Chain A
Amino acid sequence: MTTTDTGTRRGKAAAGSEYHAKDGLLLEVEDLYVEFHTADGIARAINGVNFDLYEGQTLAILGESGSGKSVTAQAIMGILDVPPAVIPKGQIRYCGEDLLTMQAEKRRKTRGPEISMVFQDALSSLNPVFPVGWQIAEMFRVHRGMNRSDSLERAIKLMQRVQIPGAKERVKAYPHQFSGGMRQRIMIAMAIALDPAVLIADEPTTALDVTVQAQIMALLQELQEERQMGLILITHDLGVVADVADKIAVMYAGRIVERADVYDLYRQPAHPYTKGLLESIPRLDQKGQQLAAIGGLPPNLMRIPEGCAFNPRCKYAQDVCREDRPALRLVAPGRESACHFAEEVLNG
C-alpha cells in the first residue's frame, strides 16, 4: 500500500497534503523553551527540548507531573494559552516548516489534517450537548467542506473503524450515553478522521480501567501501523511505554534527561533519574522486591535548582552537578543522557 515515492506516507500525497515528509521526517522540535508568566513569578515549564519524529515511529515521552511532557504536546499542537504561556525560543518544524512562525490561518489548517491529538479526559473533551456523530462529522464539514449527510456517513465508518458496537444506531447518541472506554474511542475517531501524519496521545488511558486500557492501547497501535502515523505517546506509566514504544524520551523539570531505544533504556538506564524510576516501581511479575524510592520531591518550576535539576535527589551528585547543567549528549551508540556521570550510571 506504500506509495513508490520513498519517505512519503501511504495515501498522504493522494489526499492532497501540501506537506512533504522528506526521508520520513515528520516533526523536529529544536531547542524549545516554554515559560508561564504568573503573578507569583515565571514558571519555566520547558527548558530546551529537542527531538525528531519519523513516520511509523512511536516516541514515548515519559515524565511525572510538572515535567513538561503535556506542555510539549500543547506547544506542538499550538493550543497553549498565550499569555500566560510564552515561547521565548525554539522551533517546531513540521515537514520542514516552522509551526511557531507560521501564519495563524495556515497553522490552524494543520490541526486535524496533519497533526492531531487525543486527550486524557474524553468526557470533558467532548461537547455534552451534541451527538457524538455530529462531533466527529464536524471534522469533515469544517476541513473538507462536506455536507451533513456525507459527513455523517463518514462518521459512522470511523465509529466502526474504532470498533464501537452498533455504530449506525449510536451515531446520534450523546457523550454521556457512552462508557469511558467508548468515549475514548470516539476521541480517537475524531483524531484520525482526517488521516493525520502525526498523532499525539496525552495520557490516553490514564483515566481508564486496566482491561479497557489494554483495548485502547491495542487500537492505537493497530491504527498507527495501518496508517504509518508518527505517534507521540505521553505518559507517566513505565508499563505502557514498555509495551508499545520504539523510542523513549524521559523528561524531568522541563528537559529531556535521557533518550534511547526502549529495549536499551529498560535494560540499562543511563540517567540516575530513569534508574531511580525503574527501581521504585513495583512490578507485577516480581515478589519480595525492595522498592528503592527516590528521595525528595520534583522541583518547583519557579525555582529549578542550579546545575542539574535532579541533583538534590541524586545519589551520584557531586559539586559539578550543583554548578554545571549537563547537556544531553551521546554516551554510547544510540544512547543519550544528560548526566555528568552517565557512563558510571550506565556501567552499574
Chain B
Amino acid sequence: MAEAILTATDLVKHYPIKGGVLRRTVGHVKAVDGVSFELLKGETLGIVGESGCGKSTLGRLLMRLEEPTSGSVVFDGVDMYAQKGRAMRKLRRDIQIVFQDPYTSLNPRKTVGDIVGEPFDIHPDVVPKKGRRKAVQDLLDLVGLNPEHINRYPHQFSGGQRQRIGIARGIALNPKVLICDEPVSALDVSVQAQVVNLMEKLQDELGLSYIFIAHDLSVVRHISDRVGVMYLGKMAELGEEDDIYGRPTHPYTQALLSAVPVPDPTLRDKKEQIVLKGDVPSPANPPSGCRFHTRCFKAQDKCKTDIPLLELRPDGAGEHLSACHFAQPREIIETIDLTEQGAGNAV
C-alpha cells in the first residue's frame, strides 16, 4: 500500500455568528466538525456531499487559506499549521488548488502568461527569470492550450479553456497535491470530459495526488480511487470507490446514490429510489446525535443521542469506514465493470 502524503486528523472549523448591537458571538456555524482522513501518494480522493456539507471549507483548510479551529494536517511528515514564514511558503509549493469558477478565479486584467507565471513570481527560485516565458508556454502546451496564446486575456477563452488555464497555474510549481474544488461543475457536458481526461493524464504524467471535491457523484466515481461522503461537516462514509458505490452502508450514501439520475431510460422503473424528507439542516444548529437522523429512514432513539463514530463496519465483502449505528450494506446501483480485468461484467 502506498504511503500517506497528507494526513488530516480531527479537523474542525467553526465560524462565529455575530449578533445583537454589540456584535457578540451568538453561535457558531460548524462548517467542518471533526474530519479525519489520509491521502495516499498518487491517488485521487473524492469528497462528495451536498451544498453546505463543508467540503469546500475542507479544501480551504487543506490549503491553509483558513486556520482551523482545532485539529492538524500533517503533510509529508510536517505539521502544516505549525509552520511559519519561509517554511510555510515552501510548503505551499507542494499543495495547490484549482477553483470551481473559471470566470471569477482568473484576473481579467492579466494575460494568460501573467496568470500562469505568477506562481514563479512568488517562488522565484523554481524557474530563473529568463526561462519563465518558456516555462509558461510549456505549461500551456501540457494542458492542451496553444502556447502562442500566452499574451491573450481570459475573456478570449471559453469556459473549458479557462479551466485549463487554472489547472496550468495549479501545476506550475510542480506540487505534490492538487486540491480540485468542483473543477468541472461550471462546464458544459461536452467540455467536462475534456477537462476530466486532462486531469487524469496530468496525474499519470506528474504523479500528482488529487483531492477532488465535487457534488456530482458520477464524475467522482469516474476519477476517484477512494471516496469520502460528507454530511453537515462530518464524514459519513469513507472507503474505496467500490465500497462506496457498490456496498454503501450509510443510509445517507444510499439515498444520495439512489437520487442520482442515470442516463439510461431502461433503468427508469427498475431503480429503487430512496426519497429523503426535507432539506439539509443548518450547520449553525446541527441535529444532536447523528446529524442525519432528522432525514434518515432508519433513525431510532439511539441516533438522537449518540454520535456514531466513523469506524470500520462490515459491508458484506469486507469492511470500510462508516458512521452509522445501523450500518448495513445495500446494493443501490448495479455496476457495469468496463475495466480491462472485468470487461463488460456486472460486479
Residues of A within 8 A of B (CB): 64-65, 165, 179-182, 209-215, 217-218, 236-243, 245, 262-263, 266-267, 276-278, 280-295, 297-298
Measured CB to CB, the nearest residue on chain A to B338 is A288
- Which single member of B261, B336, B340 contacts A237 (CB below 8 Å)? B261
How far is it, in angstroms, between the C-alpha of A65 and the C-alpha of B259 when the chains are bound? 24
Number of A-B contacts (CB under 8 A): 153
Residue of B194, B257, B261, B338 near A289 (CB, 8 A) is B338
B194 contacts A266, C-beta separation under 8 Å: no
Residues on the B chain within 8 Å of A209, using CB: 50-51, 215, 280
Interface string of B320-347 (1 = CB under 8 A from A): 0000000000000111111110100001
Q: What is the chain A residue whose CB lies nearest that of B276? A: A211
Q: Which of B190, B241, B259, B336 lies in contact with A298, CB distance below 8 A?
A: B190
- CB of A280 within 8 A of CB of B192, answer yes
Q: Are A284 and B262 in contact (CB under 8 A)?
A: yes
Give the complex CA separation of A165 and B277 in angstroms: 11
Contact A214 B335 (CB under 8 A): no
User: 18 pairs across A/B with beta carbons < 8 Å?
Assistant: A209-B280, A210-B260, A211-B50, A211-B276, A239-B218, A239-B261, A242-B265, A280-B189, A282-B193, A282-B218, A282-B223, A287-B338, A287-B339, A288-B337, A293-B190, A293-B197, A294-B194, A297-B161
Asked if A266 and B50 make an inter-chain contact with CB atoms under 8 angstroms apart, the answer reads no
By a CB distance below 8 angstroms, the chain B residues around A266 are 263-266
Excluding A211-B255, A214-B258, A287-B336, 4 further A-B contacts by CB distance (< 8 Å) are: A209-B50, A282-B193, A298-B188, A298-B190
How far is the CB of B246 from the nearest CB of chain A, in Å?
9
**Is B24 positioned at the interface, with any CB of A under 8 Å from its CB?**
no
What's the nearest-Cβ distance from chain A to residue B324, in Å?
17
Please state if B339 and A285 are interface contacts (CB–CB under 8 Å): no
User: Counting CB contacts under 8 A, is B196 at the interface?
Assistant: yes
Chain B neighbourhood of A179, CB < 8 A: 279
Nearest B-chain residue to A278, judged by Cβ: B263
How many angstroms between the C-alpha atoms of A263 and B266 in the bound complex? 7
Contacts of A238 in B (CB 8 A): 189, 263
Contacts of B192 on A, CB cut-off 8 Å? Answer: 280-281
Which residue in chain B gives the minimum CB-CB distance to A245?
B265
Q: A209-B280, A242-B268, A289-B338 are known contacts. Are A283 and B190 too (CB-CB below 8 A)?
A: no
Contact A64 B188 (CB under 8 A): yes
B109 within 8 Å of A (CB atoms): no
Check if B221 is an interface residue, CB within 8 A of chain A. Answer: yes
- Give bound CA distance, A156 to B192, whole Å: 42
Contacts of B217 in A (CB 8 A): 210, 284
Q: Given contacts A285-B336, A286-B335, A291-B193, is CB(A212)–CB(B279) below 8 Å?
A: yes
By a CB distance below 8 angstroms, the chain A residues around B339 are 287-288
A282 x B219 contact (CB < 8 A): yes
Q: How far is the CA of A222 from the CA of B222 in the complex (A)?
A: 32
CA distance A290 to B343 in the complex (A): 12
Q: How far is the CA of A278 from the CA of B265 in the complex (A)?
A: 13
Decide yes or no whether B288 CB sits under 8 A from chain A. Answer: no
Q: In the docked arrangement, what's the CA distance between A292 and B338, Å?
A: 14
B191 CB–A CB distance under 8 Å:
yes
Question: B194 and A285: CB pair below 8 A?
Answer: no
